[in-house]
Structure 1
Amino acid sequence: MPKPRYTQIALSETPLYHLAYRCLRRSFLCNGIDGFNFRHRREWIAERFRLLTTMFAIDVASYAVMMNHYHVLVRVHVEKAAMWSADEIFGHWSILFQVPDLKKPFLADHLIELEDIQAAEKMIEIYPERLTSTPWFMRCLNEHIARLANFEDI
């Protein structure tokens, strides 16, 4: 039985990882049957990789898109994310996700409530972990591609 990614990844051991994703329900990612051609989806994946590498502290070294699955070789830069300031952390996170309204007052030192300060500090702890997380990287890639493909298949 396969193990979840979070139990297999040890960034202290190596920053390089081979990740793979297979389509569900025997559907096709790039080549279809009955004359359908989905090769344009390769460009969707390439474009998404370009966006995600600007957001995450993860570089894509290589990838291969097959008929119903793909492989990607990534390098995780934990030390790079550790050097990011709070403003950079929020900036990277806001590429795909909405940042709570606490960001601007926190960065300007205008938060008065202790609960708000603690919530903003918690975000600054959580976001760098997620921005170096291969499961989050794959989630952001797969969800987007699946939505586009599902819309196209309707």
Structure 2
Amino acid sequence: MSRSNRGDKLDPREVQIVHAITRTTRACYLLGDDPATGKNYDHRKRWVESLIERFAAQFAIDVLAYSVLSTHHHQMLRSRPDVVATWDNTEVARRWLMICPKRKDADGNPMAPTDPELDTIRNSPDRLSEIRLRLSDVSWWMRLLNQRVAQRANREDGASGRFFEDRFKGIPVIDDESVLACAVYVDLNWIRACMAETLELSDYTSAQRRIASLETEPKEPEIDRDLQSEASAESDAGEEASRQRLSDSFLAPVNLCEATAQPGPQPSGKHARCSDKGFLPISNAEYLELLDWSARQVVNGKSGKTPGHLPPILLRLGLSPTIWLELVADFDDLFTTMAGLPENIDQQRGKQTGRPFHVRKRTRELFAQAA
């Protein structure tokens, strides 16, 4: 079967959620502990994570979930052309020049663009229109991220040639059921790959970031400050660096807050992410509870005692435990071109070809069980 055309499914002019997967060439362990060479490349996982964090502050793309493993990485992204529309020409030019800077400082970080540099974009209507589109384009996000990781790895190895497969796989996620299943699937990757036993130990995942952020929230002191012993400056600096490293401020919030949130694009007042719009009709705590429950069921793989009641979101979505666990265990195999309920996928047509999208037989059978 020929590969599907990404342009037939993805459009930066539309708000879309996309599950993006990139694999290293020939599934080599180029992002982790390589059994073939005995070399360890775990530090490259941090490269990917750092770029996700940096891009989240500049692109008009929300990061919903991600995980970085030894042979591939997953990202669940939401394009936000509606947020781009709230930015003036200077802001559009500034953001692009922070992504692709003309100048860098001694540490390799992008330097703030000058007025002449900004003018190269904002004074050119065609160029400006092109950049506006790129800022909400998942393909450009993945292209630049993978390109920079590959170039840095090749420099480190003194090598050339392909580092990743020739292109990423992008699957639109089109309904609430699949958004929830996809997020859980992505966050559980370390556990499913037997790289971690718990969510908090799942390094380089959005799940770990969300959990760590909860654990480091400021708390009221339990004793008088005058009685507290002074911590060393080195210890304080280390703790602060740890808090910053594990911050989830660049991630989209979980809760849509449908009852209280203001309508519209909700651009973020922070500089760490595109918008403050959530992506699920549940709280962060409920999501982590469901994630933990799913992780224990999938990892153990045993017919142990199932909780007497499931998290309410499963009941609201009409998903049984059996169906839910297969969804989050085999998401990639069940959805190869588009993710959603079969009847919802059947209603979609290619943006360029007008053709329907293929739904696998097992996917139809699985959801038929819930009918």
Unaligned runs of 5+ in 2: 103-112, 159-371
| Equivalence map 1:3-82=2 (5 Å) | 3-10=4-11, 15-28=16-29, 29-33=31-35, 34-82=37-85
Give the structure 2 partner of residue 123 of structure 1.
127
Letter of the 1:55 partner, please give it.
Q
SS in 2 for 1:60: strand
The CA deviation at 1:8 is: 1.7
Q: Please, which moves more after superposition, 122-131 or 90-99?
A: 90-99
Query: Structure 1 residue 151 and structure 2 residue 155: aligned?
Result: yes
Letter of the 2:18 partner, please give it.
Y
SS in 2 for 1:95: helix
Structure 1 Cα separation of the partners of residues 150 and 5 of structure 2 = 20
Q: TM-score, normalised by structure 1?
A: 0.81
CA 1:37–1:90: 2 relative to 1, 3 Å: same
The CA deviation at 1:7 is: 2.1
Structure 2 Cα separation of the partners of residues 140 and 20 of structure 1 = 14
- Contact residue 6 and residue 135 of structure 1 kept, 8 A: no
**Structure (1 or 2) with the larger CA radius of gyration:** 2
Structure 2 Cα separation of the partners of residues 143 and 102 of structure 1 = 23
Give the structure 2 partner of residue 113 of structure 1.
none
CA 1:11–1:92: 2 relative to 1, 3 Å: closer
Give the structure 1 partner of residue 334 of structure 2.
none
Give the structure 2 partner of residue 104 of structure 1.
119
- Contact residue 30 and residue 68 of structure 1 kept, 8 A: yes
The aligned length equals: 143
- Contact residue 30 and residue 38 of structure 1 kept, 8 A: yes
User: Which protein, 1 or 2, shows the higher relative CO under an 8 Å CA cutoff with sep ≥ 6?
Assistant: 1
The CA deviation at 1:96 is: 2.7
Give the structure 2 partner of residue 93 of structure 1.
96
Q: TM-score, normalised by structure 2?
A: 0.36
CA 1:70–1:88: 2 relative to 1, 3 Å: same
Identity of aligned residues (%): 26
- Contact residue 13 and residue 133 of structure 2 kept, 8 A: no
Deviations 1:73-100 (A, max 9, x none): 0111110001110000100110132489
SS in 2 for 1:19: strand
